[in-house]
Structures are given as C-alpha cells and as structure tokens.
Amino acid sequence: MSMSRRKALSSMKSARSRRQKDVEMKSAKGPSPVAEPVENRKVVEVVQEQKSSPSNPPQPQKEQASAPSNRQQPQDEAAQAFKQVDKALTAHIWYHGLIPRKEVEDMLKIQGDFLVRKTTVARQVKYCLSVKHTSDTKHVPLGFANGTWTLKDISKPSLKELIDELVQTAKPIPPSGVILKTPFPRPDYYFLHEHITMLKKLGHGEFGEVHLGRLRLKNDEEIDVAVKVLKSTHIKKSQLSAFFEAKLMRRFDHPNIVRFYGVAPQEEPIMIIIELAAGGSLKSYCKSHAEIPSSKLLQFATDGARGMCYLAARQVIHRDLAARNCLLGQNDELKISDFGLSIADRTEMKLDKLKSVPIKWLAPETLRQGLFSTKTDVWSYGVLLWEIFARCASDPFPGETNAKAKEHILNDPAPMSAPEGSPPIVQEVMNVCFVKNPEERADFVKVLKLLSPKEEPPTIPLGTFQTY
C-alpha cells in the first residue's frame, strides 16, 4: 500500500473517530428522549381514516368560494399529525428536517455517514434516508403506513428501531448496497422551533416576514434576534434560498456584516436567525434624522466600504448592495445584510437575462452583458454613497424612470454627482466607482483607503474556509 493511501485511510479513521465522539457527546447532552409512540400514534388514526401516510399525505384542496368541505377537517388533522412526527423525530440527532439534497451531499463526507431528512415531491411530504456511499450520496425513500415504518423489506413500529437495526446489523440497502455506519448529527447552527420565541413582526418581503424574536442558545442564554420566516408556498425555492444564504453567512465574522446565528429547518416554516440590528434600517434612520452631520454620514460610508472589503477578500459578490440592504447596529455602525442574491467563490458570473433587477444600482457591464463581479459591487457602492449623502430622501435618479436611468448609466461620463453639500471626498470616491471600464475601476481596498487612509483593509488568504 502506498504511503499516500495509508495516510488517506488514517485520516478517514481519525475523522470517523472524532465524529463518533461528537455523536456520543451530543447524544449525552441532547434533548431528553421522546416516547417513540408519539411518532406513530396520532398519525395512525388520521392515516387509517384517510388511507394516507406521512410519506404520502393528502393533497391540499384549493380554496373554494363556497363553504369549506367537511374533508378539510381530516386534512388539518393530518397536517397536525405530521407536525407531531417532526417534533418526535427532533429527539434524534440524525434527523435534520427540511434540508435540500445539495446541502446533504455537502455534509456527508465519510462513507457510511447518514441522516434522515424531510422533503416534498409534488407538494407531498416524504421522509428520506441519505447515506454517503463510495463516491456519491444515496437517497432512500422511507415508507409509513398503518403504524409501521418501512425501508425495502424491513418494517418497524418506529423509525428509531428501523435505523438501529440497519446500523447494528450493517445490512446493505439494495440496490446500491450502501451500509449505515455513523449518524451525522445536526450542526450547532441548527435550532429547533421551540428554541425561538416570536415577539413581533418587523417587516415583510418577497421571501416572507421578519420578526423580532428571542433565541435560546445552547448554553440556555437568551438573546434578542431577527427571525426571517420563509413563505411555505414555494417550499423547495425557500429551502434552497434559506440554506444558500445560511451557508454563505456562516463564513462571515465582521462588525460591518450582519451576524448569522442559525437556521431552524426541522419543521415549517423554515426560519433563518440573524443578528438584531438595534439601530434599524439605514433608510429609516436617515429619513427620521434630517440633520445628520456629514461626519456621521462619512462613518456610514466607511463602514460600508470596510464590510465590502471584507466580502471581496473572500470572493463574495453581493449583487444587491443598496441602502435598503444596510442596517445599523447598537452604536450606529453600518452592517451589510441580505445575501439572498449573493454568490461565493467566483470572480464573476453572467446571466443571460436580467429579471426583476434594480436597474438604478447596476453597472454598465451588467446592463449590457449580464455580468456581475466585485467591480460591479464597487459601482453599486458608488450609488449607495449617493444614497447616504442624499440622506435616503429618494431613490437614485429621483423623478426618472428606469429606462432613463439606464441611459445615464450607459451613456453619460458619470451617471450622477454627489448630493449638494457633500464633502469633496464623496465626489472623489464616486468618480473612481463610476469608471465605465471595470478593469480600470477601483477595488474596495482603494475605496476604503480614500475614505480612511490610515486604516488597514480587512483581508484574509483565500482557501481558508471550512463549510462544515
């Protein structure tokens, strides 16, 4: 056996040993066991009545103008029953809830690692066993009917018993022959819904709603947080969006980037838990403080440049930098938020079609070719700078249509000038941001140096991140 092969095997054994210790520790510290019959009892009653199951629930009926059908009650009972199943399964570290297949495949690295997740197919709930095989991940559907969980030819009254038998007997699961070895525990950034207390609604958007909430941390400390509650109307899209944003934000640790605490995917609705920006939104602050001194506005601008410098060093393209996506912390420090459109680990991306895009913040190469890069973020930062010193009184290009704004961006030497009364440095920074050729346009290091000459920009060597 070659030396490299022996090292690889040794590394895998060490990783498995560490994983097993983590599993044992989490099992010891985890939530107290839930009585297994909870998984089955309520569901059996509803399933028998409807001839359905958690892995094949009834299709929701479309809302009718007439009085609701008497079939609605069993459907509601079924939904509650499936919720009971979810709550019971959260007692087991291998249950991850509503997580996308891609997320699972990124998680499971060692052969035999496994987890159970919930998914939807044609609006029907399915439970699935995901297992790392030799070179890929196998996804095996789990069945439930008449109080019995089944997988191929194995039937058990509880899912835990079924999983335990597969692990203890090392029985290969056909047709791939994959074998369960080590449960992959929920990551530390997964929270249960019971850990989150919703206090009041703060706002809403296309993705769903934002609420003020209280989060109970692993050490039982409680903190105020902002909770994004995702719409369940497009659960697959919500899943992908939520987990991409969460995966990206886990990388960040910077005072000018909104902090990510975790995600709650075990049941619907999926929630993303982030730092509560005590100062509220930048736009609201500026509109309610008409006499903000220029020194304060320069602080906001510098904070934004610093945060974007941090992101650019990590090859993250924000793609939606604007005042509407900036928040303020407890000490009025600006924090960049909303990474739903962001991309990572790429220097640029190209879209064939631009749909529902914020025209007035886009660079010429984006409007012409659909190109996005860190340099297009720099252009957007120039527009953000205008918003800050206009005190967010209006959108850029006030009084003009998107079509007219597009003409200015594509054809004018500079699309806009600094608002009246701005310090000279503002126009200087806007000039380097609004260079038409992206190769000649400033980067965020230069922008930050102009605003804060003595400051060392935040940088980090690339390739130092670990996803899990």
pLDDT range class, residue 459, cuts 50, 70, 90: confident
> Among 33-37, 272-276, 380-384, 388-392, where is mean pLDDT lowest?
33-37
* CATH number among 3.40.50.620, 3.30.505.10, 1.10.20.10, 3.40.50.150, domain 33-55+76-178: 3.30.505.10
pLDDT range class, residue 78, cuts 50, 70, 90: low
Distance CA 224, CA 417 (A): 40
- Fold for domain 193-275? Phosphorylase Kinase; domain 1 (3.30.200)
**Does residue 350 register a pLDDT over 80?**
yes
**Does residue 318 register a pLDDT over 50?**
yes
pLDDT range class, residue 16, cuts 50, 70, 90: low
Q: Which of 320, 338, 377, 395 is catalytic?
A: 320
- The more confidently predicted of residues 406 and 32 is 406
Report, as an integer, the average pLDDT of 13-27: 52
- The more confidently predicted of residues 1 and 308 is 308
**Side-chain half-sphere CA neighbours of 181 within 13 A:** 17
- The more confidently predicted of residues 87 and 307 is 307
**Does residue 73 register a pLDDT over 60?**
no
- The more confidently predicted of residues 432 and 347 is 432
Distance CA 372, CA 350 (A): 6
Report, as an integer, the average pLDDT of 407-435: 97
**Does residue 2 register a pLDDT over 80?**
no
Distance CA 265, CA 243 (A): 9
**Does residue 398 register a pLDDT over 90?**
yes
- pLDDT tens track for 94-107: 999 988 898 899 99
Only one residue has tokens 């902002």, namely 226
Asked if 106 is an active-site residue, the reply is no
**Does residue 81 register a pLDDT over 90?**
no
Length of the chain: 468
**Does residue 449 register a pLDDT over 80?**
yes
- The more confidently predicted of residues 88 and 439 is 439
Under a CB-based contact definition with an 8 Å cutoff, are residues 207 and 271 in contact?
no
**Does residue 80 register a pLDDT over 70?**
no
Annotated binding-site ranges:
228
- pLDDT tens track for 23-50: 544 444 444 333 343 444 334 333 333 3
Report, as an integer, the average pLDDT of 73-84: 62
- The more confidently predicted of residues 111 and 459 is 111
Q: What's residue 184's pLDDT?
A: 97
Q: How far apart, in Å, do the first and last CA atoms of the chain sit?
A: 30
- pLDDT tens track for 200-250: 999 887 678 999 999 999 888 999 999 999 876 556 666 677 788 888 898
Exposed/middle/buried for 240, CB within 10 Å: 0-12, 13-18, 19+?
A: middle
Q: What's residue 144's pLDDT?
A: 80
> Among 71-85, 306-320, 387-401, where is mean pLDDT lowest?
71-85
Q: What's residue 18's pLDDT?
A: 54
Name the pTM for this structure.
0.78
- pLDDT tens track for 238-267: 667 778 888 889 889 999 999 999 999 888
Closest CA to 129 of 159, 102, 103: 159
Domains 33-55+76-178 and 280-451 share a fold: no
Distance CA 379, CA 436 (A): 9
- Fold for domain 280-451? Transferase(Phosphotransferase); domain 1 (1.10.510)
Q: What's residue 208's pLDDT?
A: 83
Domain boundaries, the chain: 33-55+76-178, 193-275, 280-451
Distance CA 344, CA 349 (A): 10
Most confident of 199-208, 302-311, 455-464: 302-311
Report, as an integer, the average pLDDT of 412-421: 95
Residue 203: count of CB within 10 angstroms of its CB: 9
- The more confidently predicted of residues 5 and 210 is 210
Q: What's residue 347's pLDDT?
A: 87
Report, as an integer, the average pLDDT of 144-156: 87
Strand 124-132 versus strand 196-205 pairing type: unpaired
Annotated binding-site ranges for ATP:
228
Q: What's residue 122's pLDDT?
A: 73
Report, as an integer, the average pLDDT of 140-158: 89
